[in-house]
């Protein structure tokens, strides 16, 4: 997120350090508390990575798009990156075995099968409907104001807190709230499961100054054991003027 005008003196988030991971719509539903009404809204998955949420929502008649800088790669190179990162991500999880509730996704074998099928489903959809996958990066998305109703932001902000500071988080969230009136972000811990109370508190305080209201909601049975909450950010509604 080096393009942020707010970025301060910290090492930039190297693209190679950020895994292009592949979650399914079932995982998104749990992480973001999605219900039927949500799935009828215009959804933006940012970052989409290799998640199959967009493909699954559209297959069910919904309207969804994804944004990710890696979509600038050609489809063959992207496929290679996604499959390599899938192996890297599974390896890392096996190393951090105790940090996850493997029963949530059918054990290690079930989890691996789900991630592989999500990646394959996303790649098939990318070929069939490339217009749903927009190359772009926070904090400056190539999308019009209010072109979505709900942005889902999974496993970038807070997850990579070692490479993104408070200003980066705020700039990214303000940008997503320009594209849609509601933004849901998960998780609020870093990839090792460390809680980030100071960062979360300072981001929420700065969002308030940008007229964005935040609330923290519980997440039911998280796969990453420490990731028990999500952040929901909405544009602050103006109170109607009292009649004179
Ligand atoms: C861990 S993956 C998460 C993908 C998907 N949301 C999921 O949960 O499976 C993180 C993604 O963030 C993307 N990314 C990295 N820098 C970004 C930026 N500045 N703006 C948007 N996406 C970015 C990466 O390319 C990568 O695909």
Measured CA to CA, the distance from residue 131 to residue 105 in angstroms comes to: 31
Q: How would you class 45 by CB atoms within 10 Å of its CB: exposed for 0-12, middle for 13-18, buried for 19 or more?
A: buried
Q: Give the pLDDT confidence of 8-21 residue by residue, as tens digits.
A: 445 556 676 899 99
Q: How would you class 108 by CB atoms within 10 Å of its CB: exposed for 0-12, middle for 13-18, buried for 19 or more?
A: middle
Write down the pLDDT at residue 97. 75
Find the range with the poorest average confidence among 79-88, 105-114, 218-227: 105-114
β-pair type (212-218, 150-154): unpaired
Mean of pLDDT over the chain = 91
Token look-up 């849901």 returns 184
Cis bond leading into 47, ω under 30°?
Answer: yes
Find the range with the poorest average confidence among 45-49, 54-58, 71-75, 213-217: 71-75
Domain 20-235 matching CATH 3.40.50.150: the answer reads yes
Q: Is 114 in the pocket of ligand 1 (CB under 6 A)?
A: no
Q: Give the pLDDT confidence of 84-116 residue by residue, as tens digits.
A: 998 888 888 777 778 888 888 888 888 889 999
Give me the sign of the Cα torsion angle 116, 117, 121, 124. Answer: positive
CB atoms within 10 A of CB 24: 21
Using alpha carbons, select from 155, 154, 169, 158 the residue that is nearest to residue 212. Answer: 169
Report residue 3's pLDDT band, with 50, 70 and 90 as the boundaries. very low
Measured CA to CA, the distance from residue 184 to residue 206 in angstroms comes to: 17
Model pTM?
Answer: 0.93
Highest mean predicted confidence (pLDDT) among 71-85, 150-164, 226-240: 150-164
Write down the pLDDT at residue 75. 85
Token look-up 């996604």 returns 82
Q: What percent of the chain has pLDDT over 70?
A: 91
Token readout for 221 is: 């049975």
Rg, Å, the chain Cα set: 17
Q: Enumerate the β-bridge partners of residue 236.
A: none
Q: Is 200 in the pocket of ligand 1 (CB under 6 A)?
A: no
Query: Which residue ranges make up each domain of the chain?
Result: 20-235
Q: Give the pLDDT confidence of 118-129 residue by residue, as tens digits.
A: 999 999 999 999
Decide which of 228 and 97 is more confident: 228
**Average pLDDT in the 182-195 region?**
96
Cis bond leading into 139, ω under 30°?
Answer: yes
Q: Give the pLDDT confidence of 27-43 residue by residue, as tens digits.
A: 999 999 999 999 999 99
Report residue 4's pLDDT band, with 50, 70 and 90 as the boundaries. very low
> DSSP alpha helices (H): ranges in the chain?
25-32, 36-39, 53-59, 75-95, 107-128, 166-179, 197-209
The DSSP letter of residue 102 is G
**Average pLDDT in the 225-231 region?**
97
CA of 21 relative to ligand 1 center, distance in Å: 8
CA of 150 relative to ligand 1 center, distance in Å: 17
**Which atom of ligand 1 is nearest to 47's Cα?**
22
CA of 103 relative to ligand 1 center, distance in Å: 25
């Amino acid at each position: 997120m080096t393009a942020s005008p707010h970025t301060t003196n910290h090492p930039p988030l190297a693209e190679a350090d950020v895994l292009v991971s592949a979650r399914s719509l079932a995982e998104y539903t749990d992480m973001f508390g999605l219900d039927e009404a949500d799935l009828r809204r215009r959804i933006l998955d940012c970052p989409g990575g290799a998640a199959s949420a967009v493909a699954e929502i559209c297959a069910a008649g919904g309207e969804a798009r994804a944004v990710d800088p890696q979509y600038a790669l050609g489809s063959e190179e992207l496929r290679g990156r996604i499959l390599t990162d899938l192996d890297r991500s599974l390896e890392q999880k096996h190393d951090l075995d105790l940090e996850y509730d493997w029963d949530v996704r059918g054990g290690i074998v079930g989890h691996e099968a789900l991630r592989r099928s999500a990646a394959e489903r996303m790649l098939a959809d990318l070929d069939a409907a490339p217009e749903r996958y927009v190359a772009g990066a926070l904090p400056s998305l190539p999308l019009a104001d209010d072109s979505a109703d709900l942005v889902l932001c999974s496993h970038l902000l807070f997850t990579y807190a070692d490479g993104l500071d408070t200003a980066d988080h705020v700039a990214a969230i303000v940008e997503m709230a320009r594209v849609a009136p509601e933004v849901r972000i998960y998780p609020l811990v870093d990839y090792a499961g460390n809680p980030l109370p100071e960062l979360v508190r300072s981001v929420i305080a700065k969002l308030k100054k940008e007229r964005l209201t935040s609330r923290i909601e519980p997440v039911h049975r998280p796969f990453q054991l420490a990731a028990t909450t999500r952040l929901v950010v909405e544009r602050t509604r103006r109170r109607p003027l009292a009649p004179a």
